[in-house]
Amino acid sequence: HPFSNPLAPVSHDRLPYALNQAGLPFGILLLMIVGFITDYSIILLIRGGNLSGTKSYQSLVKSTFGLPGFLILSGLQFLYPFIAMISYNITTGDTLTKVFQRIPGVGPDHILAERHFVIVLSTLLFTLPLTLYRNIERLEKVSFLSMVLTIFILIVVIIRAATLGPQITPTGDAWAFAKWNAMQAVGVMSFAFICHHNSFLLFNSLEQPTLATWSRVTHVSVSSALIISAAFAVAGYITFTGYTQGDIFENYCRNDNLATFGRFCFGCSIITTFPLECFVTREVVCNVWNRDLSETQHVAVTVLIVSACTSLSLAFDCLGVVLELNGVLIATPLIFIIPSACFLKLSPDRWFQGENVIATMLIMMGLFVMVTGLTMTGLNSQGCSHGVEMFYCPDANISTTTPPTRNNVTNT
């Protein structure tokens, strides 16, 4: 499966905001570190599975840390993709409504400009049918389409960096080496890179599920994702500097046709990524239930998960702080701590010998990121805005024609 990239491309839209939090040079360094740790820990995870003779993340943790570890991991593994799916629906509604309003005759009062209708429509027509597949291999072409769309989105962001960026005066701290919110940025980056919750699914779907094959697939996937992520983050940030919002497409003007095309690709990318996350939540349910689902049970569980995500995305329209906490408190343990802890427990060497030294350092780093990231999120909580035209847009309201202060830059 060369095109079954385990990384979620729809999270790239938040990476420019991560650079806004961390500072451009330090943010790029952090992005590279998170990419390296992701690559290393994914391989470490499968190595732990081979050492313990297990074929899923949950069974690996259960064999090493017993039932308490199994239940903790199951909760984390379920919550991360579940919250991600909610955010995908909310972003789909916000993004595609702006696309539809560019259609002649579709105004703000049109049904296609109603985010609730768009969320329900995309769920019934696309995400629900795709999530009903039982075999993850059926999503190979969908995954490839998502990657192609990501390239289109990157091209749009780079073009606008060259054409729109020079028209926007950089903020005073635009080129600072580092900023105080760097640990919050690590949470956003972890959210963008995490794929450990579906790594065993992808590993078991390989034609040759060997550690060597998996290592090659992982190196190619993570390296390509790191290059795309860095290009996306830098291009987005240098365009808007300190005005960069949590969702980069909230920065572009509504009458920007190229940005509208980018929004369309972005919305489609979200729809094609949603099913993979649903596969993970469904597998967690099966493992906790400790049984294979019949066809009827498979459909029922899938519909229940998708319905719950859709209902919550209809009830809420702002998940900025929740997504940061999802990255700090859920993604960080899944990337930094748990794979390393499992490997240390299974390794015959002591914690300060050989590769165990790296695993020990990752655990300490993960704990540091969790504590400081949680603290910084509490001290620097962000607001949320949707559909507000920025001051540099031709159709901006009077209240938004002046550059916002740093406290007004919101995380959507």
* Structure letter (DSSP) for residue 335: I
CB 39 within 8 A of CB 267: no
How many CA atoms within 13 Å lie on the side-chain side of 396? 17
Question: What pLDDT band is residue 11 in, cutting at 50, 70 and 90?
Answer: low
CATH number for the domain including 52? 1.10.4160
Return the residue matching tokens 């690590």: 186
Structure tokens at 9: 């491309």
Q: What is the pLDDT of residue 398?
A: 44
Q: For position 264, what pLDDT does the model report?
A: 93
User: Total domain count for the chain?
Assistant: 1
pTM recorded for the entire structure: 0.82
Please give the residue range of the domain that contains residue 331.
Answer: 9-408
**Is 165 domain-assigned?**
yes
Q: Are 246 and 412 in contact (CB under 8 A)?
A: yes
Stronger pLDDT, 357 or 377, i.e. the higher one? 357
In a domain, 4, yes or no: no
pLDDT in tens, 85-138: 998 898 888 889 999 999 988 888 899 989 899 999 999 999 999 899 887 777
In a domain, 220, yes or no: yes
Beta strand residue intervals within 44-130, DSSP E: none
Q: Are 261 and 100 in contact (CB under 8 A)?
A: no
- Residue with the bigger pLDDT between 388 and 330: it is 330
- Percentage with pLDDT > 90 across the chain: 34
Give the SS3 label for residue 390: coil
Angle at 149 between CA 175 and CA 235, to 5 degrees: 10
DSSP of 263-311: HHHHHHHHHHHHHHHHHHHHHHHHHHHTSPPPHHHHHHHHHHHHHHHHH
CB atoms within 10 A of CB 315: 9
Can you tell me the distance from the alpha carbon of 397 to that of 399, in angstroms, rounded to the nearest whole number? Answer: 5
| pLDDT tens figures, 147-204 | 888 889 999 999 999 999 999 999 988 999 999 888 878 888 887 788 787 788 788 8
1 occurs within a structural domain:
no
Name residue, tokens 């400009």. 113
User: What is the DSSP-derived secondary structure letter of residue 168?
Assistant: S
| Res. 411: pLDDT tops 50 | no
332 assigned to some structural domain: yes
Q: Tell me whether residue 3 is in a domain.
A: no
> For position 56, what pLDDT does the model report?
84
Any domain includes 33: yes
Q: Which residue has the tokens 């640990």?
A: 183
